[in-house]
Structure 1
Amino acid sequence: MSDQTDIASADERLLNRLAGLLPPAALLVGDAIGGTYQEDRRGRFSATPRFVLRPTNTAEVSASLAACNDFRQPLVVHGGRTGLSGAHRIRDGEGVVSLERMTGVGKVLHESATVLASAGAPLQVVQELAQANGYLFGVDIGARGTATIGGNLATNAGGIRVMRYGMFRAQVAGLETVLADGTILSDLRGLEKDNTGYDLKQLFVGSEGTLGVVTRAVLKLHPKPFDAVNALIAVSSLAAAISLLERLRKQFRSALSAFELMLPEAFDGAVDYLKVQRPITSHAPFYVLAEIETSANSAELDAFSACLMEVLEEGSASDAVISQSSREYQALWDIRDSMADYIRTLDNIVGGDISVPVNRMEAFLSQSKAAVRAIDPLTRFFIFGHLGDGNLHYVISSPQAREAISRVYQLAADHGGSISAEHGIGVDKKQWLHLVRSEAEIVTMRRIKTALDPNCILNRGRIFDM
C-alpha cells in the first residue's frame, strides 16, 4: 500500500512541477486528453498517456524533460503519429511529449538555399514554401500532409525521390535537440563545412526519439526542376524492370528522380480503390512508374519519350503511357500514393519495409514468394516500392502473415538487405533487429543510449531493450 501511495505522491509532485513550468494549454491530464494521442495508422493498441505535454518552444521542451528526468518518468515523443513501426504507441505509465504546437517555419534563405523549420511543422508546409520560392524539398512521402519534420528526422524518412536527393539526413544542414536531462544542443548555423569533431546532428537523425527531442532544423533546399514528366510502363519481368532502370540511369543520370515498382495486386487494387480508369490497357506482372526532372529545356523530355518508344519496339515493355499534362502527371502519382490507403482496407494484412541490393532483388523476390507460399499457398502479395534504391514495401495478406513476414525478413538479411529500409524499428521490429545488426553494433547503440539518456526516459523500449 505504501508503494502505491509513494507512486501517487510522485505523480502529483511531477504534475505540480510541470504545471508550474508550463502555460495551462501545454499540459493535459485526465479527461482533457483526447483519443487523438492513441491513434495508430495500423490500428494497434495504445494505452492512455499519463499526461500530455504540448510545448511551444525549445525552452519549454527543455524544462519539461528536465522535470521528467528527475522523476524517472518515461516519455513518448509524438510528431504526426504516421509512423509504421509503432514507436509512437503508448505503454502503460508513459507520458507524451507532443510537438504539435511547434509548427513555425522561417523564411527561405536564398543565399544558402535553406529554411529553418520547427519539429511540429508538417512536411507539406515545407514543400509548399520551397515551391513558392522556386525550390524543391528533397523528401516526399504519402503522409506529407500529416507527417512532421521532427518525425521525419527521427525516422530518417525516405520516400519516392531518394535516388536523386537522398534520405532525410541528406537534407539536414543544422539541428537543435534537447537531451533527456534538458540540455539543449543547438547548431543552426547551417554550415556546409564544419569538421570540428563529431557531427552530433546526424546522431539524432534516425534515432527514433530515443536519444533526444529534435525541436528545430535547418533544411537544405534544391533548385526547382524546370519541368518533370512521368511514365507508367508495363514490363514482363523484374529483370526487365531492372534493365530499364539501368538504361534510364545511364541516359538521364541525376535527371531520373523516381523509379517505382508495383505488382498487379497493388496496382489494380489502387486503381479500383480510386475508382479511376486504368491508365494502360495491358495487364502485366510488373508495372514501373518512372519520373525525370529537367533543369533547362525540353530536350530530356523528348529523349525520355524516344527512349520508352525504343523499349516498346524492342519488346522489353508491352505498354507505356507518358504524362502529357500536370493533371495526367498527378493522376499517375495518385495511383502510387493511394496504395497504402487501399491496403489498409484489406484483412489479414502484414507489411514489411525491406531493402535489398538491386542486383539481388530478383533472387530475393523469387525465393521469398516461394517461402511465403510454402507457409500459406493462398497468400496474396501486394508488393510495391522504390526499386531505384532497392526498397520494397512487402505487403502480404494471409491468416499466417506474421509467420510469413518473419521468413521474408530472414531472406532479406540473407540477401544482404535490411528489415527496415525507411520505417525504422520502433517496437514492432525489435525481434528481428539481430538479423541485420551484429551484437557488437547493438551493444554500441545501447552504450550511446546510456550516455545520453541514463535514466532511459525517452522512447524506452524502442529499437532495442536495455
Structure 2
Amino acid sequence: MSQKIDELLSRLEKRLDRSAIVSAEEAGPRYREDPDGKDGAPPAIVLRPRTTGEVSDILRLCNEAGQRLVVQGGTGLAGAARIQPGEAVLSLERMTAVAAPHREAATIVAEAGAPLQMVQDAADAAGLLFGVDIGARGTATVGGNVATNAGGIRVLRYGMYRAQVLGLEAVLADGSVLTSLKGLPKDNSGYDLNQLFIGSEGTLGVVTRACLRLHPKPATEVNAFCALPSLDAAIALLALLRQKLGPLLSAYEVNFAPLYGAMIAGMEAPAPLPAGSPVYVLAEIQGSEPDRDGERFAAVLMQAVEDGVIDDVVVSQSPREFRALWAVREEANRFLFSMAGLIGVDISIPLARMATFLGETEAAIRAVDPGADIYVFGHLGDGNLHYQVRTADPAAAYGIVYRGVATAGGGVSAEHGIGLDKKEWLHLVRSDAEIAAMRRLKAAFDPNNILNAGRIFDLAPG
C-alpha cells in the first residue's frame, strides 16, 4: 500500500465505520469484474459510504490527496466503471434506501445504490408506475441509471431516464453537496444543474439521491408479436400504430433475422411464431380503458395484416401470454450473452437511414470477414439498435459500424454510455467545439480530475 493511500486511510478512518473501508486484498475480484468481460485493475482501496455526508468527506479528502476514484453503480456497458491502475473504488452499494412514494405528487426519492427494481416495486405497491425498465433491473442502480441516462424498452412512451428526474442530490469533487429534491415539475430558478449530471457517467460529480417522476399504473397492458416482410414494413407499422393509437403505444421492439431463428432454437418455451421472416416486432400498448384499448389495438393490427404490412401476428390474451411474449424479447439477451467472442455495439440511427445503414454495414463487414455472424435487435421505436458481431476481426468490425453510424447521422451510444471503450469514436459524432465544451465543464467541476478520469474523453486533447 502506498504512502498516499496510508495517509488517506488514516484520515478516512476517523470519519467512516470499519465496514466502509475495504482493502485491495479484502476486495477480491467482485469490484474488478466488468459486464463486458474486460476486467479492471485491482483497486487501490474500496470505499463504501452509507450517507451523503460520508460521500462528501471521501471526495473532499481524495481531492486534497489527488487520489482518483472510479464510481461504480451497475449500469454502464462501455467501461466507465472499470478500474484503471491506481484508482480507488467509490461504491454506493450501501446507499439503498427508497422512500415511500408521494401518491399525490407521483414522485419517489431513492438513494443512488438502490436497484431499479426496488423503485419499480415501491411504485407498483403504491398503484403507480416507474417509466424506465431494462433487462438488468435487478442490478442496475438509480445512480448508474442517472449517470448513463438509461433508456430501455419504454422510451417511446415515457422518455429516457432524464425525463424521469425531477431533482438530484450530488456531491462535487471538492465535497460540495448540491441538493435539489423538491420535485417541482416547473422550476426555472437559474441553471438546471441536475441535467448536467444525467448522462455524465460520474465525471462531474457523484449522484447520491434522486427525486423521480412516477406515472399512473396502466389498467390495460397488451402486446403483440408480429412477423414482417421487411424493415420498411416495420417502420410503416410503427407509423400506423402511432397514428391510430397515439400515447397508447408504449413499446416497439425489433428483432432481425437470423437472430430470431437462432435464439428460438434453444428456447424452452414454444416460439410465438415460426422462424423465416426477415423482421419480427414486439409492440405493446398501455392504457386506462380495458374495455376499449385491446379492441383498438387488435383492429389496427388486423388492418396492417389486410394491407400486407404484417405477415403473421399473435396478440396476448392474458397476463401470462403478455409475460411470455416479453420473455421472447429478453431471450435475445440470454442467447447473445452465452456466445463467446461476440462484440456488442449500442447505437442510434435515424429511421429514414436505417435500411441503408444495415445494408452497407453488413456488406462492409462481410467484405472483411465473409464468415461473420451478425445479430441485430433493439428498440426500433426510438431508433436504438444493439448490433452484435462474431468475427475474426473485431477491430475492423467496430470501425465499420461506428463509421457507418457517423455517415447515417446517428449516435455511437444510445443508452450504454461512452466510458473507456467508445471514447476513441466520440469525435465521429461530436464536433471539436462540443468536445471542448465538455472538457471545460469537466475542468470546472473537477479541476484535479479525480472522478472517473479518462472516461468519455481525456481531459487534455490527446
TM-score grouping bracket, smaller chain normalisation: over 0.9
Matched, 1:43 2:37: yes
The answer to which of 209-218 and 354-363 deviates more is 354-363
CA contact (8 A) 2:349 2:384 kept: yes
CA contact (8 A) 1:267 1:335 kept: no
CA contact (8 A) 2:218 2:288 kept: yes
Tell me, in whole angstroms, the C-alpha distance in 2 between the residues paired with 1:140 and 1:166: 11
Partner of 1:134: 127
CA contact (8 A) 1:312 1:318 kept: yes
Partner of 2:81: 88
CA contact (8 A) 1:350 1:402 kept: no
Q: 1:387 aligns with which of 354, 361, 380?
A: 380
Large movers: runs of 4+ above 3 Å:
none
Partner of 2:69: 75
CA drift of 1:282 comes to 5.1
Secondary structure class of the residue paired with 1:38: coil
Secondary structure class of the residue paired with 2:13: helix
Tell me, in whole angstroms, the C-alpha distance in 2 between the residues paired with 1:420 and 1:300: 34
CA drift of 1:79 comes to 1.1
Partner of 1:175: 168
Tell me, in whole angstroms, the C-alpha distance in 2 between the residues paired with 1:38 and 1:338: 27
Unaligned runs of 5+ in 1: 1-6
CA contact (8 A) 2:223 2:284 kept: yes
Secondary structure class of the residue paired with 2:30: helix
CA drift of 1:155 comes to 0.2
CA drift of 1:344 comes to 1.7
Once the two structures are superposed, residues 276-307 of structure 1 have per-residue CA deviations (whole angstroms, 9 ceiling, x without a partner) of: 21111352011000001111233121121122
CA contact (8 A) 2:24 2:43 kept: no
Matched, 1:211 2:204: yes
Partner of 1:25: 19
CA drift of 1:338 comes to 2.7
Tell me, in whole angstroms, the C-alpha distance in 1 between the residues paired with 2:290 and 2:392: 52
CA contact (8 A) 1:282 1:319 kept: no
Partner of 1:61: 55
CA contact (8 A) 1:282 1:318 kept: no
TM (norm. structure 1) is 0.96
Partner of 1:250: 243
CA drift of 1:136 comes to 0.8
Partner of 1:155: 148
Identity of aligned residues (%): 54
Amino acid paired to 1:103: T
The answer to which of 28-37 and 187-196 deviates more is 28-37
Tell me, in whole angstroms, the C-alpha distance in 1 between the residues paired with 2:300 and 2:343: 37
Secondary structure class of the residue paired with 2:224: strand
CA contact (8 A) 1:188 1:217 kept: yes
- The 5-angstrom pairing of residues 347-358 of structure 1 reads 347-358=340-351
Q: 2:390 aligns with which of 397, 401, 421?
A: 397
CA drift of 1:9 comes to 2.2
Amino acid paired to 2:99: G
TM (norm. structure 2) is 0.97
Amino acid paired to 2:70: V
Matched, 1:376 2:369: yes
CA contact (8 A) 2:131 2:154 kept: yes
Matched, 1:454 2:423: no
CA contact (8 A) 2:40 2:82 kept: yes
CA drift of 1:113 comes to 0.4
CA contact (8 A) 2:305 2:312 kept: yes
Unaligned runs of 5+ in 2: none
CA drift of 1:273 comes to 4.0
CA drift of 1:270 comes to 3.1
Tell me, in whole angstroms, the C-alpha distance in 2 between the residues paired with 1:264 and 1:208: 33
CA drift of 1:412 comes to 1.0
CA drift of 1:44 comes to 0.8
Once the two structures are superposed, residues 200-236 of structure 1 have per-residue CA deviations (whole angstroms, 9 ceiling, x without a partner) of: 0000000000000000000000011111100110001
Partner of 2:418: 425
Matched, 1:335 2:344: no
Matched, 1:262 2:255: yes
Secondary structure class of the residue paired with 1:35: coil
Secondary structure class of the residue paired with 2:317: coil
Once the two structures are superposed, residues 243-286 of structure 1 have per-residue CA deviations (whole angstroms, 9 ceiling, x without a partner) of: 00000000011110001110123223332343221111352011
Tell me, in whole angstroms, the C-alpha distance in 1 between the residues paired with 2:139 and 2:345: 22
Tell me, in whole angstroms, the C-alpha distance in 2 between the residues paired with 1:270 and 1:214: 38
Partner of 1:110: 103
Supply the RMSD in Å over aligned alpha carbons: 1.2
CA drift of 1:20 comes to 1.4
Secondary structure class of the residue paired with 2:163: helix
Tell me, in whole angstroms, the C-alpha distance in 1 between the residues paired with 2:47 and 2:2: 19
Tell me, in whole angstroms, the C-alpha distance in 2 between the residues paired with 1:188 and 1:306: 44
Tell me, in whole angstroms, the C-alpha distance in 1 between the residues paired with 2:312 and 2:190: 53
Matched, 1:361 2:368: no
CA drift of 1:359 comes to 1.4
CA drift of 1:406 comes to 1.3
- The 5-angstrom pairing of residues 202-241 of structure 1 reads 202-241=195-234
Once the two structures are superposed, residues 64-120 of structure 1 have per-residue CA deviations (whole angstroms, 9 ceiling, x without a partner) of: 11010011000000112x421011110111000000000000011112100000000
Amino acid paired to 2:187: D
Tell me, in whole angstroms, the C-alpha distance in 2 between the residues paired with 1:116 and 1:153: 13
Amino acid paired to 1:261: V
Secondary structure class of the residue paired with 1:127: helix
Tell me, in whole angstroms, the C-alpha distance in 1 between the residues paired with 2:291 and 2:342: 43
Partner of 1:192: 185
